[in-house]
Structure 1
Amino acid sequence: MAMAQGAQGPQDMFTVPHTVGRVLCCMCGVSMAPNAANMCVACLRSQVDITEGLQKFVTVLYCPECGRYLQPPRTWVKAELESKELLTFCIKRLKNINKVRLVDAGFVWTEPHSKRLKVKLKIQKEVVNGAILEQGYVVEYTVEDHMCEKCSRVAANPDQWIACVQVRQKVDHKRTFFFLEQLIIKHNAAASAINIKQMHEGVDFYFANRSHALKFLDFLSNVVPTKSRHDKQLVSHDTKSNTYNYRFTMSVEICPVCKDDLICLPQKVAAGLGNIGPLVLCIRVSNSLLLLDPQNLRNAYVDASQYWRVPYRPLLSSRQLVEYVVLDIEHDRGVGSSSGKFALADVQVARIADFGKNDTTFSGRTHLGHLLKVGDYALGYDLYGANTNDLELDKYKGLVLPDVVLVKKSYEEKRQRKRGKARPWKLKALPMEIEPSAGGKQDEEKMVGEYERFLEELEEDPEMRSKIALYRDAAYREQSETGSMTDGEEPPSVPLEELLADLRLEESSRAESEFDEDMDDP
């Protein structure tokens, strides 16, 4: 063993470590690692400035009304402070930046009101004898206020519009417009509108360009079943250049059938849908109507063209819903008794309003067998006591109407103790001018009640919530309920994971600056 170790010893003695050679700088004589120029970094930078010819100061135009920046020649770009969109815009404004290699870029924090943007760039360029030099420098952007063409036209005359889209629905509630407003906000469909006015039966959208109005009209036809009519009015005519100026008005009518409405289908329509119904419920409204027969769970889709070919109105609407209590329920186990999220069941119910007055009960079939149990409350249409004056219904000879058609489970009793309290979420609203109504305070109270019911419907319907954006309410403070008795089942609410953060860039930039100061402190 000792001899073996002695044999390996001389081999280790002849191992020569690898060392990197160093040379002297040809200008200052400092020892350095060799490079193609044989100059140290300090001398190389003193001899060559790779930022020469690049812009250090740039002026950009900003519209304070709409918050957009001018991308020459005529494009206006929407960008928030210290966003990646603004960083891309700033880099594109630099001339000759393509002659160097851009390695890194980032904002240098400035006061939001300083009208200055500073961007720190790190670039590389090949210099003497193929040596690559890397250098950083700061570009300062001076922000000058300049109103864009659209905003200047609105400021000069708010009524100076080119195209108007008049959206109307002939119903006695605003549920559709509440939902449509949230869809418009989520998809930013009314970004080009110069003015929005809330009218008696709908909303008017004003645009400075006809193409913007046509784009908005196309959006409406993709989210709700509509029909439209186009008109134009001559404003001025130049006989020398043969040019005409028109104002375009586009009237849009939304289908009067809404979610949860009870419909009696015309005989021609029912036959075309496979003899469904004729009493059906509208369970979903998008660019088409989803109709469900609560007696056998058969459903059919009706698009806008099919509806307007043979239009019909609801037999009973959601304003006529009556609250019932479930006395007995027997689930149907036969073939076809369940379809998707519905299940058939035979129920026995009684009206809440009849308690203490009579012992009248009603029996029928419902599609809510998966939700209801004995003791639950449900909302439905009272066909036993309703005065249905419908011409289409009279055409069906020998049709036996059910006493009750249940529509959805009711949480009214459980909501009583929570009504009036703040919610942890909120919705955004369009900047609309509200036309004063003749009803005054009565109409305002009606609007507040309808909006509250719309919020409750959002809490009950996850599929409806998935189409819009809900935001966390920063002002919400959770209140602990003391002394309240609960029966173990709470009304539906919006899960926190579905809420979006309502980001404010001023607060986030202030928080980042405070964090940077804390990190700089020893």
Structure 2
Amino acid sequence: MSHEYIPTTTTQRILCCECGVAIEPNAANMCLNCIRSRVDITEGIPKQIVVNFCRGCERYLAPPAQWLPCALESKELLSLLLKRMKGLSKVRLIDAGFVWTEPHSKRIKVKLTIQKEAFAATILQQTFVVEAVVANQQCSDCARREAKNTWNTVVQVRQKVEHKRTFLYLEQLILKHQAHRDTVNIKTVREGIDFFFDSRSHAIKFVDFLQAVVPARSKSSEQLITQDVHSGESTYKFTFSVEIVPICKDDLVFLPGKTARHLGGVNPIVLCTRVGTTLHFVEPTALAKADIPTHLYWRDPFLSLAATNDLVEFYVLDVETGRSSGKNCFADVQVARASDFGRNTQSFHCRTHLGFILKPGDVVLGYDLSTSNFNNVEFTEYTIRHEIPDVILVRKSYDHLRRSGKRKWKLKQLAMDVDEMEPARGTPTDRDYERFMQELEEDQEMRSAINLYRQPQTAAMDIISDVEDVEVPRVSLEELLEELVIE
């Protein structure tokens, strides 16, 4: 009879030195429960912290004085909270994540998993939750904004013209691109607008924006406010002066000889068709076009011969169209002054670039050079040597077709301190604002660069019904935005 030997392997066990439970041998000679009861690896890590939040700019304080924008449950906010927890440098952080809480509860919970060596060759891992209490605190930037006369830098925007339409358009560009979000205050003055900032860097950024959307040049200056001779610290106030080119759309311009030669010898009597970072001109009697960059204009600046306030109403008697160039069409037009009807039969023959839109019976606005006297030496010398047209037509007029009903669209406005001597925005006495609204209706390319909003309780049929059977430019429903209203 044979016997087979089957070896058996058994793990040697020992008794826990605290509770006497049989356990596998370890360096501490204690079971896991006894180790946890005697050693707390989370000791020194606070279970509740306080984080400061500014409701004005929605930023969190990163001590000692830095304020950071952080979205809820973002990695930036998690990094900020972990830096606020003392004692994490003494343990090994395995995992960290957010525990969902009500956004308005002012509580942010973070779940942490850490490891730490409790005894020799004995590593413990533990998961716990740290609660961050959000405390409201106003940051220094918001405090300066709400205080008075605490600005550090001012940007003075000026244009030496008789109307405010350029600034009305600039206001809409600023609103669309949120370029005013760092301003402390905005104030209107006689020839422009002042923008106040609490930081010079914000003002420089705003000046760069202005030079990117309008033809302008800038210069800066500084004024010493206080100086400490012991520490060498000084306080300055900075001023940026931004001057916009005093040429506007529909202005009649006489180009200086040097500028006209630089553009290839174009006829110096031109109309301004568009103002951007470049000035766009057209010679109405020959359809020649000329573009002048901002730096070239300031090298040899010039003023307008006449502005839109000098426009005269004419009735179109006859139109004979000719060749076209781009958006313009050459035409021979016979017109008569609206003021001469019933008094005389005087009419004028002129050539214009408005052949696409004019027809007999229309009302058109233009400059009457036959009765005008301009204080320009170069223009006077030019008229002696060359024959100039009696009338230069600028644009078609729709004033006699417009209805007095309320528009179904509107524009937003900047919150600014307005001069008491100026008419209220949008009132019948504010002619510049009304003309600006009409320009937006007539120029689709111009209004495509800004935001237009639908009036409350405006239906699509209401917009169409106001202009049906009437030849008036209008803003289509597709171009309007719904204004966000938070209740």
> TM-score, normalised on structure 2?
0.76
DSSP-derived class of the 1:395 partner: helix
Change (3 A) 1:373 1:199: same
Q: How does 1:274-293 map to 2 (within 5 A)?
A: 274-293=264-283
Q: Could you tell me which amino acid in structure 1 is paired with residue 178 of structure 2?
A: N
User: Residue 300 of structure 2 aligns to which amino acid in structure 1?
Assistant: V
Letter in 1 for 2:362: D
CA contact (8 A) 2:366 2:393 kept: yes
Give the 3-state SS of the residue equivalent to 1:412 in structure 2: coil
Q: CA deviation at 1:101?
A: 8.7
Counterpart code for 2:475: V
Higher radius of gyration, 1 or 2 = 2
Report matched runs for 1:138-177 at 5 Å: 142-156=133-147, 158-177=148-167
The answer on whether the counterparts of 2:369 and 2:390 sit within 8 Å (CA) in structure 1 is yes
Change over 3 Å in CA distance of 1:305–1:141 after alignment to 2: same
Task: Answer yes or no: is the 8 Å Cα contact 2:62–2:68 preserved in 1.
Answer: no
Partner in structure 1 of residue 388 of structure 2: 401
Please give the alpha-carbon distance, in whole angstroms, between the structure 2 residues aligned to 1:185 and 1:242: 40
Matched letter for residue 417 of structure 2:
E
Distance (Å, rounded) in 1 between the aligned partners of 2:174 and 2:96 = 42
Greater Cα shift, 255-264 or 400-409? 400-409
The alignment yields a C-alpha RMSD, in angstroms, of: 3.5
Q: Hey, what's the Cα distance between the residues in 2 that align with 1:317 and 1:99?
A: 72
Q: Kindly tell me: are residues 480 and 206 of structure 1, through their superposed partners in 2, closer, same or farther at Cα, counting changes over 3 Å?
A: closer
Q: State the partner residue of 2:204.
A: 214
Instruction: Report deviation, 1:420.
Output: 4.7
Aligned pair in 2 of structure 1 residues 421, 443: CA closer, same or farther (>3 Å)? closer
Question: What CA deviation, in whole Å up to 9, does each residue of 1:400-450 have, x standing for no partner?
Answer: 1211111112111111x2x25132x2211111112333xx66999686221
Residue 460 of structure 1 pairs with residue 467 of structure 2 = no
Determine if the alignment matches structure 1 residue 382 to structure 2 residue 368. Answer: yes
Moved more, 398-407 or 177-186: 398-407
Q: 1:422 aligns with which of 382, 407, 410?
A: 407
Residue number in structure 2 paired with 1:412: 399
- Once residues 47 and 477 of structure 2 are traced to their aligned partners in structure 1, the CA distance between those partners, rounded to angstroms, is 47
- Structure-2 change in CA distance of 1:454 and 1:308 (3 Å): same
For 1:145, the aligned partner's letter is N
SS at structure 1 position matched to 2:304: coil
- Is it true that 1:432 corresponds to 2:419 in the alignment? no
Q: CA deviation at 1:118?
A: 7.3
Equivalents in 2 of 1:146, 1:174: separation in Å? Answer: 41
**1:343 Cα deviation (Å)?**
1.0
Conserved in 2, the CA contact under 8 Å of 1:265 and 1:392?
no
1:301–1:498 CA distance, 2 compared to 1 (3 A): same
Counterpart amino acid of residue 495 in structure 1: S
Q: Is the 8 A contact 2:423 2:429 kept in 1?
A: no
Secondary structure (helix, strand or coil) at the match of 2:186 reads: strand
Contact kept in structure 2, 1:116 and 1:140, CA below 8 Å: no
C-alpha separation between the residues in 2 aligned to 1:303 and 1:446? 36
Q: Is residue 167–residue 204 contact of structure 1 (8 Å, CA) maintained in 2?
A: yes
- Which ranges of structure 1 fall in alignment gaps of 5 or more residues? 1-51, 80-84, 125-136, 508-522
User: Are residues 1:489 and 2:475 paired?
Assistant: no
Partners of 1:208 and 1:174 lie apart in 2 by 27
Are the counterparts in 1 of residues 214 and 276 from structure 2 also a CA contact under 8 Å? yes
Give how far 1:72 is off.
2.6
**Alignment partners' CA distance in 2, 1:259 and 1:459:** 15
Find the aligned partners of 2:476 and 2:142 in 1 and give their Cα distance.
40
1:316-327 residue pairs with structure 2 within 5 A?
Answer: 316-327=306-317
Which residue among 254, 264, 267 is the counterpart of 2:254? 264
Distance in 2, matches of 1:371 and 1:454, equals 21
Partner of 1:356: 342
Counterpart residue identity of residue 501, structure 1? E
Matched AA of 2:363: Y
Q: Unaligned 5+ residue runs, structure 2? A: 1-40, 83-87, 114-127
Cα separation, partners in 2 of 1:412 and 1:107, compared to 1, 3 Å: farther
How many pairs are equivalent?
421
Could you report, residue by residue, the CA deviation over 1:185-229 in whole angstroms, capped at 9, with x for unpaired residues? 111112111111111111111111111111111111111111222
Rounded to whole Å, the distance in 2 between the matches of 1:486 and 1:192 is 41
- 1:11-26 alignment runs, 5 A limit: none
Distance 1:106 1:475 in 2: 43
Letter in 2 for 1:403: D
1:329 corresponding residue in structure 2: 319
Shift of 1:76: 4.7
CA distance in 1, matches of 2:407, 2:186: 28
User: Conserved in 2, the CA contact under 8 Å of 1:115 and 1:142?
Assistant: no
- The answer to whether the 8 Å contact 1:150/1:194 transfers is no
* Mapping for residues 101-180 of structure 1, pairs under 5 Å: 116=106, 142-156=133-147, 158-180=148-170
Partner SS for 1:433: coil
Equivalent residue number for residue 503 of structure 1? 484
Letter in 2 for 1:459: E
How far apart, CA to CA, are the structure 2 residues paired with 1:318 and 1:93?
Answer: 58
**What SS does the aligned partner of 2:203 have?**
helix
Q: Hey, which of these two has a bigger chunk of strand by percent?
A: 2
Deviations 1:312-339 (CA, angstroms, capped at 9, x unpaired): 111110111122222111111xxxx322
| In 2: Cα distance, 1:377 partner to 1:56 partner | 79
Rounded Cα–Cα distance in structure 1 between residues aligned with 2:433 and 2:129: 51
CA distance in 1, matches of 2:373, 2:109: 72
Taking structure 1 as the reference length, the TM-score comes to 0.72
Per-residue CA deviations over 1:115-135 (Å, capped at 9, x if unaligned) read: 6477999x99xxxxxxxxxxx
Per the TM alignment, residue 167 of structure 1 is displaced from its structure 2 partner at its CA by 0.9
Tell me which amino acid in the other structure corresponds to 1:471: Y
Amino acid at match of 1:488: D
Structure 1 counterpart of 2:8: none
- Shift of the 57–261 alpha-carbon distance from structure 1 to 2, 3 Å rule, reads farther
Distance 1:463 1:456 in 2: 13
**Structure 2 partner of 1:343:** 329
